[in-house]
C-alpha cells in the first residue's frame, strides 16, 4: 500500500512529495524518503510546481510563483504570510518575528513546525537568536535541522552567484 501524492521529486535533501489540487499547492513533505508515495491525480499545476521546485534545487529560482492554499488557524495563517515576506538570503529570529506580530517566539516556532508547505512558505528562514534553531519539530541537530541548514546555504549560494 502507500499514500498518494501528485509528484515525488529526488532532490539534494532527499525525496520530497508534492500535494496539490487543480487550483493550488496544498502541501510538501520534505521527509518523504521513508514513505512509499503513489502518484495520483497529477495535473497542469503539478507540472508547474515540479518545474519550479526543480529550478529551485538547480539554483535557478528563489521566488515561487504558484497559488498556495494554507489550511490552519488564523494565527498560523498570519505567521505563514509573514514568512512569505522574508526575502531569500535573509534570516529572522523567532524573537524578531514574534515582536513584529505581537506574540511569543515559542508561538512562532509552533506555527513554523505546522507549516504544510515548507520551502515555498520559507519557515527555514526563521532561526534562533543563537544558532540555527529547530526545524519541523527537531531542535538544533539531526537530519531535519541539516535540511534547514542546507536550504539556507543553498539560497545564499544562489544570491552570491547572482551578485
Q: Which residues are catalytic?
A: 123
Q: pLDDT higher for 81 or 138?
A: 81
> Stretch 25-39: mean pLDDT, rounded?
94
pLDDT at 163: 74
> Stretch 126-151: mean pLDDT, rounded?
89
pLDDT at 162: 82
Q: What is the pLDDT of residues 70-128, one digit of tens each?
A: 999 999 999 999 999 999 999 999 999 999 999 999 999 999 999 999 999 999 999 99
pLDDT at 129: 93
pLDDT at 2: 66
pLDDT, averaged across the chain: 94
Q: pLDDT higher for 137 or 73?
A: 73
What DSSP assignment string belongs to the chain?
A: --EEESEEEEETTEEEEEEE-SS-EEEEETTGGGS-EEE----HHHHHHHHHHHHHHTTS-SS----B---S-HHHHHHHHHHHTSPTT--EEHHHHHHHHTS-HHHHHHHHHT-SSTTTS-GGGEE-SSS--EETTEESSSHHHHHHHHHHHHHHHHHHHH-
pLDDT at 152: 97
pLDDT at 143: 87
> Stretch 51-78: mean pLDDT, rounded?
96
Amino acid at each position: 500500500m502507500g499514500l498518494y501524492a501528485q509528484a515525488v521529486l529526488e532532490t539534494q535533501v532527499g525525496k520530497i512529495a508534492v500535494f496539490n489540487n487543480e487550483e493550488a499547492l496544498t502541501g510538501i513533505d520534505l521527509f518523504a524518503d521513508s514513505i512509499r508515495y503513489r502518484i495520483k491525480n497529477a495535473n497542469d499545476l503539478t507540472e508547474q510546481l515540479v518545474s519550479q521546485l526543480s529550478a529551485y534545487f538547480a539554483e535557478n529560482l528563489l521566488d515561487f510563483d504558484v497559488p498556495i492554499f494554507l489550511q490552519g488557524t488564523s494565527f498560523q495563517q498570519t505567521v505563514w504570510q509573514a514568512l512569505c515576506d522574508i526575502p531569500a538570503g535573509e534570516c529572522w529570529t523567532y524573537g524578531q518575528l514574534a515582536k513584529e506580530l505581537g506574540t511569543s517566539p515559542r508561538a512562532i516556532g509552533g506555527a513554523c513546525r505546522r507549516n504544510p508547505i515548507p520551502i515555498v512558505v520559507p519557515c527555514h528562514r526563521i532561526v534562533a537568536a543563537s544558532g540555527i534553531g529547530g526545524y519541523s519539530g527537531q531542535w538544533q541537530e539531526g537530519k531535519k535541522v541539516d535540511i534547514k541548514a542546507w536550504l539556507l546555504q543553498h539560497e545564499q549560494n544562489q544570491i552570491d552567484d547572482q551578485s
